Copies of this chain bind each other. A is one copy, B any other.
């Protein structure tokens, strides 16, 4: 079989799944693994530690699933803070609280495993390996919930390393390398890209743009990307945006930028803020390049709408049940503005993201997405969130501080028309 760069990617990261992984795996004793980790952390010199870190990484690649679990559990059990020192520091702080004892306590509380991850990061390809490693770590948290402690350490480091200041925004177009473009095809999960010709319709026409964040240590790996359509009005459906039959407009004529797909590419960076920075930067760049753009909106899915509608919480009445199609919009308005999670935030994750960023729920579009996926998620309903520069700050504050959701007056009115009725049966799908 021809080895291509997809396969190389895997090998270069942690090369786990599939044929190659299997073939490479060898029987590695737990003592050997423990000894390697210990050697890495006891050598005090940073420079000479890089070779050892590379060795640890190579061994990790050769480990099977159980072996890797053992690594994580070792990091949890043996490489937390020094308990004697921590006890002493805690006692001293309690005895004499102050800057100095607090600082000493902070230092004593720092787990030794943090240094483990730091040294791995020094290795060529180490950052990518840690991102991949975190995926595996999170996978294991279902059966090993106490591993969240290790994940927290790794996540804090990734937050420092994937600081906004280190990210670079790249405009992706037909001049971009195939190595990057194939990853765009692979990672697009909102509105799938069906091969290179389909990709081309999204990046090689004047009224379509694609922007992604990249990190110097991850090379051609996008972290997150957004697809933008330049239009003359807020779109009510995804079909015309993706159509290959349309006539493009000159971007200078456009008044509206539509963010119609946002994709996080690195599962291992879950929980690390990227999307809000991306949107802010793209709005700024587009405004500079096309001063006629006045409106910035999304065309967004409501991924959890139908599940909620078919669940026990949906406020369905005989009327809504009789006219399912007409009832969708009011129910969606109600769902997005009034239905919250335990922490008082919108239940729908996409709503949570955009409303949390300071956007306004601007428009509800039944029948906007006829794809199997769209129908399954929300009976085909999509919504527009609008980013109005003048309101973002206030919206964001109100959302963060009081859970307030910003919605257009018509939507707020629509939402109020829905009377909650907790014991209702689920809504049948509109035909």
CB 8 Å contact bits of A244-258 with B (1 = contact, 0 = none): 111110000000000
Q: Which residues of A (348-381) have their CB < 8 Å from a CB of B?
A: 356-358
Known: A122-B163, A122-B165. A48 touches B100 (CB 8 A): no
Contact status of A90 and B99, CB under 8 A, knowing A4-B200, A177-B174: no
Residues of chain B with a CB closer than 8 A to A195's CB: 196
The answer, yes or no, to whether A179 is at the interface (CB within 8 Å) is: yes
Given A2-B205, A105-B90, CB of A99 within 8 Å of CB of B122: no
Shortest distance in angstroms between A359's beta carbon and chain B's nearest beta carbon? 11
A267 within 8 A of B: no
Q: Which of the candidate stretches A75-83, A312-320, A339-347, A416-424 sits at the interface with the other chain? A: A75-83
Is the beta-carbon distance between B245 and A1 smaller than 8 angstroms?
Answer: yes
Q: Which of B122, B177, B357, B397 contacts A47 (CB 8 A)?
A: B357
Whether B87 pairs with A94 at a CB distance below 8 angstroms is: yes
Contact of A106 among B43, B111, B126, B201 (CB under 8 A): B111
Is A102 in contact with chain B by the CB < 8 A criterion?
Answer: yes
Q: B48, B216, B247: which contacts A1 (Cβ < 8 A)?
A: B247
Copies of this chain, tallied across the complex = 4
Q: CA of A288 to CA of B353 in the docked complex: distance in angstroms?
A: 40
- Near B by CB (< 8 A), chain A positions 192-251 give 195-196, 200-201, 204-206, 216-217, 220, 244-248
**Residue contact B100 to A109, C-beta cutoff 8 Å:** no
CB distance from A29 to the nearest CB of B (A): 24
Residues of chain B contacted by A401 (CB below 8 angstroms): 44
Interchain CB contact under 8 A, B100 and A146? yes
Which residue of B is nearest A202, CB measured?
Answer: B2
Cβ of A18 < 8 Å from any Cβ of B?
Answer: no
CB–CB A45/B126 < 8 A: no
Once bound together, how far apart are the Cα atoms of A166 and B122, in whole Å? 9
**Does the CB pair B177–A358 fall under 8 Å?**
no
Q: Which of B102, B178, B244 contacts A181 (CB 8 A)?
A: B178
Count chain A residues whose beta carbon lies closer than 8 angstroms to a beta carbon of B. Answer: 85
In the complex, what residues of B have CB within 8 A of residue A152's CB? 103, 107
Interface string of A389-407 (1 = CB under 8 A from B): 0001100110011000000
The reply on A65 being an interface residue by CB < 8 A is no
Most buried by B among A46, A50, A178: A178
Q: Given the complex of chains A and B, what is the CA–CA distance between A206 and B7 in angstroms?
A: 12
**Contact, CB under 8 Å: B181 / A47:** no
Contact of A246 among B2, B76, B161 (CB under 8 A): B2
With a cutoff of 8 Å between Cβ atoms, the chain B residues found around residue A205 in the complex are 2-4
Question: What are 21 A-to-B residue pairs whose CB atoms are below 8 Å?
Answer: A3-B205, A4-B174, A44-B400, A45-B276, A45-B358, A46-B273, A47-B273, A47-B357, A48-B392, A48-B396, A102-B111, A103-B152, A106-B110, A122-B165, A161-B163, A161-B166, A166-B166, A174-B177, A175-B177, A177-B177, A178-B200
Mark A residues whose CB is within 8 Å of B: 1-5, 43-48, 50, 76, 80-81, 83, 86-87, 90-91, 93-94, 97, 99-100, 102-103, 105-107, 109-111, 118, 121-123, 126-127, 146, 149, 152, 157, 160-161, 163-166, 168, 174-179, 181, 195-196, 200-201, 204-206, 216-217, 220, 244-248, 273, 276-277, 280, 356-358, 392-393, 396-397, 400-401
